Structure 1
């Protein structure tokens, strides 16, 4: 099915430290409170636990309770739901983005740039491949938090339409979050969406949200209140992308290169 519009709910929320059950309960309330029909709902990074370096306390498998829960919600709400959580697989832990369709089909992306400042690289195995998700005629590129600082990884060589970052991005560096989300939209001539958590975690790191959506010209489309639990719905249009890509043709002049992981 080819949709000319894509309606997306950005769910900016606090997270309960290392408590998947309680996070599922509170997120289900927020998801079920959305009465408007949407095509996709976006949750923050590590939405079952907060940004923990104790994966053994919260890790699940792809057949675990959270995946079962999110499949049921996606089916009941007839929408795709995406966010990242801690997954245990083949003896490794991953910070994995899941994109769950109403049909129960799941697309995944493992975070490429693990956050060395917090020691994420010591406990989580880094991903090596981007995954462009085809959904309702749109091409969507899911990335995670620290990936935002690396424009080469996000470079739009696949002609994707929407770039999505889910995050636990702390308040002291939120200016970088704001600037880089806008930059990724402009340089890739794509919509760019960032969903960040709010609140304090167990390490006393504060998160102030600043979740937002930007269009291909870097215009902000949302007005989510910083530091508040809030959901906002934004509508993306194919005509906006086509109009400015055809008019400006900036992507035609992009540098050609290849990545060696």
Structure 2
């Protein structure tokens, strides 16, 4: 499966400008791809102003995702602010080319920004399938909680979409590799660059990482796209040769 990561300097609180920005990046892709991954809150930047910038599930950004997925003949995913039944969610959306979609609501809300005061946490881990890969989506701060993402043999690829600031960049790169190694899976992490409306800088570091924890491709701090092929057969062979998952401790989430 070919995966494309898209890294950008987001326009603060400007959904139309951000959609246009990503549209240009996607349209400029030179080769077909199977899955396109955008950052967390790709339409707005990481904002606590959910009341102003939340959209419905049939709003402009959802319609744009459907249009771009159909046009590129690829699935597209990223997170955006959704209002549903008078609650606000930081919602990961996976949009297929035929308009079907799957959602995951961010479980761990970022306390340092008081995200829990403005958004409702998700309760369910989600796994969906694309091109034979079982994919588990996560959002930003979820990366710090390995129990939540711990593989039970139910996925092959973890996706983390994020607005992860420069001051904690080492944690971002280290934890992405750790999640790949400990779960024997591919990991895709997509972050943003630039500075947001709170004067918080971001250093990118979007990457596609293999099941050994090696970076297949990384964008460092560039505004750019990058694509790489990931191999399900190779992953299966590695898991068969080194089946350490059978010795893992059992657990239940409370």
TM-score by length of 1: 0.96
1:38 aligned onto 2:53: no
Q: What's the CA shift for 1:158?
A: 4.2
| Map of 1:154 onto structure 2 | 149
Specify the alignment match of 1:74 in structure 2. 69
Runs ≥4 residues deviating over 4 A: none
Name the counterpart of 1:250: 244
Contact 1:18 1:57 in 2 (8 A): no
Superposition deviation, residue 25 in structure 1: 0.7
Q: 2:180 aligns with which of 175, 185, 209?
A: 185
Q: Does 1:15 align with 2:10?
A: yes
Alignment of 1:60-139 (within 5 A): 60-139=55-134
Q: Is the 8 A contact 2:217 2:226 kept in 1?
A: yes
> TM-score scaled to structure 2, two decimals?
0.98
Residue number among 214, 222, 227 corresponding to 1:228 in the alignment: 222
For 1:199-214, what aligned pairs fall within 5 Å after superposition? Answer: 199-214=194-209
Maintained 8 Å contact 1:10/1:41 = yes
Cα separation, 2, equivalents of 1:142 and 1:14: 22
The question of whether the paired residues in 2 share the 8 Å contact of 1:80 and 1:101 is answered with yes
Residues 13 and 43, structure 2, Cα contact 8 Å, conserved in 1 = yes
Is the partner of 2:98 in helix, strand or coil? coil
Runs of 5+ consecutive residues of structure 2 not aligned to the other structure: none
Q: Is the 8 A contact 2:208 2:218 kept in 1?
A: no
**SS of residue in 1 equivalent to 2:44:** coil
Q: CA deviation digits over 1:40-60, x for unaligned, max 9?
A: 000000000000010122110
Q: Distance in 2 between matches of 1:229 and 1:206?
A: 14
SS of equivalent residue, structure 2 residue 215 = coil
Structure 1: 5+ residue stretches without partners: 1-5
Shift of 1:155: 0.3
Deviations 1:206-245 (A, max 9, x none): 0010111111111110132x22201100110012211110
Mapped to 2, the partners of 1:14 and 1:173 lie a distance apart of 18
* Among 191, 204, 210, the residue aligned to 1:215: 210
Q: How many residues align?
A: 254
